[in-house]
Every structure is written in C-alpha cells, then in structure tokens.
Structure 1
Amino acid sequence: MPRISAATVADHRASQHAALLEAAMQILVAEGAAGLTPAAVGARVGLARSSVYRYFSATADILAQLVEDSIPRWAARLQAAAGEGTLEQRVRAFGAATLSFAGSRDYALLRAVASIDLPGECQDRIDQLHETMIEPLHAIAAEAGHAHPDLVAHLGWSMLGEGQRRLAAGGEQGVITETTIDVLCRAVLG
C-alpha cells in the first residue's frame, strides 16, 4: 500500500496534485510544450507515469488544469488593476498589469497552449477563461461610451499581446511598455 504524506488521503491527493502542477509548470518554462508529458511530470516528483494518470488523463489535461489554475489569478489581478481611478488611470494600470504577464512563467503556459491542438471542450473552456481577462477592458470601453465595447476591448487586447510578444523577445521594456499603453489609451478612450 502506498504511503501518504498528509493527515488524510484527500489531503495527500491534493498535495500530490499541487506538486504535479508545479512540476508541469517547471517543465513548460524550461523545455516548452514538447517536454511536457505525463512521464516527465511524474519523474520530476518521483511518481510513476501510471500514477500521474490518476490526476491527469493526458498532456492536454495537464495543460488545461494549469490554465484553470493560472488564468483566474491573472484575471483577478487585471480586475484589481482596472478597478480604481480615472478611465485613463484604469486603462494604464490594466495595460501595465497585462504587459507584466510577459515576464511571468505563466506566459510560457499560454504560449504552450496556443501551440498545440486541444480537444474542443478544453479550447472552449480556455476561451471562456480568456474572456475573463479581457472583461475589465470591456467595462472601461463601455464606460468610455464606445458603441462596440467588445470589439474595442478585443482590439486593445491584441495590441497588448503584441507588446507582450516584443517584451518576451527581449525588446526594450521602457519603450515597448510606454508606447503600447499610450496606443491602448488612444484606442480605448478615443
């Protein structure tokens, strides 16, 4: 019988699950999506591949669970950033928080997810979660009086995505951040 390292089996499983997610994120950051397999994740925490399948059905499931863990954290951060101040201050804070994502290890996760074909239900869920990240910008665009706030928010998100890509590629942080946020303000606030 396997040993548990917690007070209860449920606590042990939760701890193992968290360790597996952390191992998966480390692999993604170090090796990209190509290195992420149930066997590699298990090896990183000392579990056999067959044991990893108790937590994840496949590599796509590992990615989906990482997204479920990561995006709500970022969505809350973006919501908080865009929550106070004038409309311009809110847009600038949202833009800065979004651009900071490029320097986080979660950015590797979203790049990995974008690089593989996911099952339809996984992609649908990722799309739903993605919308939660854009929602604060949508609310600002609506408050600014745009006739099509959803379109404005998505176009603004695309601008921020380009800024993130340039930052992740090692571009000049100050110039990219300032220019991207200035253009975003003009687009969202008119």
Structure 2
Amino acid sequence: MPKIQAATVADHRALQRRALVDAARELLEETGDGAAVTFATVARRTGLARNSVYKYFADRRELLAAVVADAVPRWLEAIGAAMAAADAPEEKVAAYVRAQLDVVRAGGHRVAQALAGDADAAALKGGAADAHRALLAPVEEALAALGEPDPRRAARLLQGVVNAAVTAVEAGDDPDAVTGLAVRAALSGFGPRA
C-alpha cells in the first residue's frame, strides 16, 4: 500500500491533483505549446506513474480544463486587485494595463496562447469568452467614470492596445518601455471629447 503524504486520503488526493495541475501549467508556461502537456510528461514532473494520472483526470481535455479553472481566476483577481487599489479612474485604467502585462511577464499569457491553439482545449473557448467579459467589466466602469461616451466599445479597443503590448513584450521588446507606452496610449486615447 503506497504511503499518503497528507493527514487523510482526501487531502492526499487533493495534493496530488494540485501537483498535476501545477505541472501542466508549468509546461504550458515554459513551452507555450499545448502539445507538451501529456499524461506522461505531467506524470514525470510529479513523480507519479503515467497510469496514476487517470485517477485524477479522465483525459487530457479534463486536465487542461483544470489548468484554465485554476489560472484564469488568479489572473482576474490580480487585475481586479490592482484596479481596486487605484483611486482615480485614470489610475484604474493604468492599473488595468500594467496588471495584464505583469500577468504576461509571469508567464500567464503563454498558458492562454498554448491553450488557444490546442485541439483538446477547443471546448474551453466558452470559458475564455466569460473570462474576457469579466476582464472588461471593471475597466468599462473606469472608462465611464472618465466620461467615455461608449465605455463598452472603448474597453474593447483598450484591450486591443494591451494585446498589442503583449505581442511586443513576447517578441522581446523591453517590458518596462512597452508598459509605459501602453499606459500613455490608454490614458490619452479615452475619456470625454472636447
């Protein structure tokens, strides 16, 4: 009988499951390639036998869904916390831009990119749309407070600025310079019209 590494079997199973999700996320962050996440590679990283992974996940798609379910709320929480810590609407918009680029620096965007191109993760696209809406809601409020006449449209366009900044950072551009420019573009491009 194998030894458990926690106070109870349920706690042990939770720890093992957590280790598998973390290993899959790390592979996505490191490689940017969804194909790198196989039960064999995840098992090797956690020290489990490949067939043991099936005790926690029925298939690869279920494992990838667990990675998304774990990562996206943390990204949204980080962005929300940065915005909540800001006082003025301008500061909230700047925090929105900076926090997303911080997520990119931490490797989070590589996870999203890897999953976007993965056939097994195709079923996760509905969750991505929900996450995108949750991401835009607080910045819509900040843009409305700035006097932006169409905050929903402005939020989507602002996200385009962030996406372009992400592309630049991932192509090797200086993250601090890109972040500064993206914040300036965001703050000068939205608000009331004279």
TM-score w.r.t. the length of structure 2 is: 0.88
Please, which of 165, 170, 175 is the counterpart of residue 173 of structure 1? 175
RMSD: 1.8
Q: Is the 8 A contact 1:141 1:152 kept in 2?
A: yes
What is the alpha-carbon distance in structure 2 between the residues aligned to residue 96 and residue 106 of structure 1? 14
Q: Is the 8 A contact 2:116 2:122 kept in 1?
A: no
Q: Is the 8 A contact 2:101 2:179 kept in 1?
A: yes
Q: Secondary structure at the match of 2:190?
A: helix
Q: Is the 8 A contact 2:90 2:146 kept in 1?
A: no
Alignment of 1:72-111 (within 5 A): 72-83=73-84, 84-111=86-113
Q: Is the 8 A contact 1:152 1:187 kept in 2?
A: no
Letter in 2 for 1:18: R
Q: Secondary structure at the match of 2:118?
A: coil
What is the alpha-carbon distance in structure 1 between the residues aligned to residue 61 and residue 93 of structure 2? 34
Q: Which residue of 1 aligns with 2:144?
A: 142
* Range that drifts further, 54-63 or 149-158: 54-63
* Range that drifts further, 6-15 or 111-120: 111-120
Q: Which residue of 2 aligns with 1:4?
A: 4
What is the alpha-carbon distance in structure 2 between the residues aligned to residue 184 and residue 92 of structure 1? 7
What is the alpha-carbon distance in structure 2 between the residues aligned to residue 56 and residue 139 of structure 1? 39
Letter in 1 for 2:19: A
What is the alpha-carbon distance in structure 2 between the residues aligned to residue 126 and residue 7 of structure 1? 36
* Range that drifts further, 26-35 or 176-185: 26-35
Q: Which residue of 1 aligns with 2:161?
A: 159
Q: Which residue of 2 aligns with 1:57?
A: 58
Letter in 2 for 1:188: F
Q: Is the 8 A contact 1:20 1:45 kept in 2?
A: yes
How big is each residue's C-alpha offset from its partner over 1:43-83, in whole Å with a ceiling of 9 and x where there is no partner? 21122222212222332322221121111112112112222
What is the alpha-carbon distance in structure 2 between the residues aligned to residue 59 and residue 142 of structure 1? 42
1:88 deviates by: 1.1
* Range that drifts further, 107-116 or 9-18: 107-116
Q: Is the 8 A contact 1:91 1:184 kept in 2?
A: yes
What is the alpha-carbon distance in structure 1 between the residues aligned to residue 71 and residue 14 of structure 2? 17
1:136 deviates by: 1.7
Q: Which residue of 1 aligns with 2:70?
A: 69
Assess, with a 3 A threshold, how the Cα gap between structure 1 residues 92 and 156 changes in structure 2: closer, same or farther: same
Number of residue pairs the alignment of both structures matches: 189
Q: Which residue of 2 aligns with 1:27?
A: 27
Q: Is the 8 A contact 1:74 1:133 kept in 2?
A: no
TM-score w.r.t. the length of structure 1 is: 0.89
Letter in 1 for 2:135: M
Q: Secondary structure at the match of 1:5?
A: coil
Q: Is the 8 A contact 2:43 2:50 kept in 1?
A: yes
